[in-house]
């Protein structure tokens, strides 16, 4: 069982940018159509944002405003599938016997997004990139709670997934639409997260866990349950 505060949040999905957009969606959740649009990151100079792929733009657009004013802010970056469009492009070039783009290759590791974050923010705070399964939000929250327990005044948690390349559609079924959720976590007792277990495999959450937590937060639900395989996580609002 861990306790913490969610001091601020930011989220992005196709057509959902502002807090009001998300509040409306939370009251009537529905599938979103991906329009291939990437969020605005014009707060970065053009020379700096040229290497940011769509996933990085999503992560930066939610994380950057949350990080403002924090000198040394640890970051936990959670993404299960990574930049699959980039991976697919690189593999296609390899299959065709073409030389690989050095830029694409240099960005083809899971922690490239936090690497870019570190360079562009000039931050040497502790950063972690996790690729967990369906309960990446909760695994990332555990990591963040450990950093808070070690004395960090705040931790930034970013959970994001990009629309997978069409070639992977048969295997990736947990990304209904691209999304990024940023949570600025601080020490406190507002929220409690507890792990639990079920014998049988429980019904999975209808929305990605991070998006569902936001829905729960915005509609002021007292708690929500996120089941993944035989694990059931309970998020509970204490205050």
Partner 1 sequence: MSDQHPDLNLEIKRLIIDALGLEDITPEDIGNDQTLFGEGLGLDSVDALELGLAIQKRYGIKIDADAKDTRTHFSNVTSLAAFVTAKQAA
Residue 94 Cα to chain centre, angstroms: 29
User: Which uninterrupted H or E stretch holds 136?
Assistant: helix 136-149
Structure tokens, 91: 């593999």
Placement of tokens 């000039």 in the chain: 122
Residue with smaller CB distance to partner 1, 117 or 179 = 117
Which is nearer to partner 1, 102 or 122 (by Cβ)?
102
Residues lying near partner 1 in the complex (CB under 8 A) are found at 46-47, 49-51, 99, 101-103, 106
Residue 101 vs 192, nearer CB to partner 1? 101
Q: Considering the complex, state which of residue 101 and residue 111 has its C-beta at the smaller distance from partner 1.
A: 101
In the bound state with partner 1, the residue whose beta carbon lies nearer, of 98 and 230, is 98
- Please enumerate, as own/partner, the contacts of 149-152 that have beta carbons within 8 Å and a separation of 24 or more: 152/74, 152/126
Taking alpha carbons only, the member of 103, 151, 104, 101 closest to residue 126 is: 151
Q: Do 138 and 236 form a contact (C-beta atoms < 8 A)?
A: no
Question: Which C-beta is closer to partner 1: that of 48 or that of 194?
Answer: 48
Give least dist CB 119 to partner 1, A: 11
Coil, strand or helix: which one is 23? Answer: helix
Q: Which residues pair with 30 in a beta bridge?
A: none
Q: How far is the CB of 30 from partner 1 (least distance, A)?
A: 33
Q: Is the separation of the CB atoms in 155 and 2 below 8 Å?
A: no
CA pair distance 78, 211, nearest whole angstrom: 13
Q: How far is the CB of 50 from partner 1 (least distance, A)?
A: 4
The distance of closest approach from Cβ of residue 172 to partner 1 in the complex, given in angstroms and rounded to an integer, is 26
Q: How far is the CB of 89 from partner 1 (least distance, A)?
A: 14
Min dist. Cβ of residue 10 to partner 1 (A):
23
How many Å apart are CA 157 and CA 136, to the nearest integer? 11
């Amino acid at each position: 069982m861990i306790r913490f505060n969610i001091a601020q949040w930011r989220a992005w999905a196709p057509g959902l940018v502002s807090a009001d957009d998300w509040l409306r969606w939370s009251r009537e959740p529905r599938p979103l159509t991906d329009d291939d649009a990437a969020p605005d990151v014009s707060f970065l100079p053009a020379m700096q944002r040229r290497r940011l792929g769509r996933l990085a733009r999503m992560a930066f657009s939610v994380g950057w405003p949350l990080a403002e004013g924090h000198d040394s802010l640890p970051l936990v970056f959670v993404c299960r599938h990574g930049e699959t469009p980039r991976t697919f492009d690189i593999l296609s070039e390899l299959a065709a016997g073409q030389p690989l783009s050095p830029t694409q290759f240099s960005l083809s590791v899971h922690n490239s997004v936090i690497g870019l974050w570190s360079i562009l923010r000039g931050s040497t705070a502790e950063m972690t990139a996790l690729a967990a399964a369906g309960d990446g939000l909760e695994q990332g929250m555990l990591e963040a709670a450990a950093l808070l327990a070690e004395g960090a005044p705040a931790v930034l948690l970013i959970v994001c997934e990009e629309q997978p390349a069409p070639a992977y559609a048969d295997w990736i079924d947990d990304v209904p639409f691209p999304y990024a959720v940023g949570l600025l976590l601080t020490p406190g007792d507002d929220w409690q997260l507890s792990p639990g277990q079920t014998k049988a495999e429980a019904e999975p959450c209808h929305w990605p866990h991070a998006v569902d937590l936001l829905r729960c937060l915005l509609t002021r639900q007292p708690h929500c349950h996120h089941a993944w395989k035989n694990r059931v996580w309970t998020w509970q609002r204490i205050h």
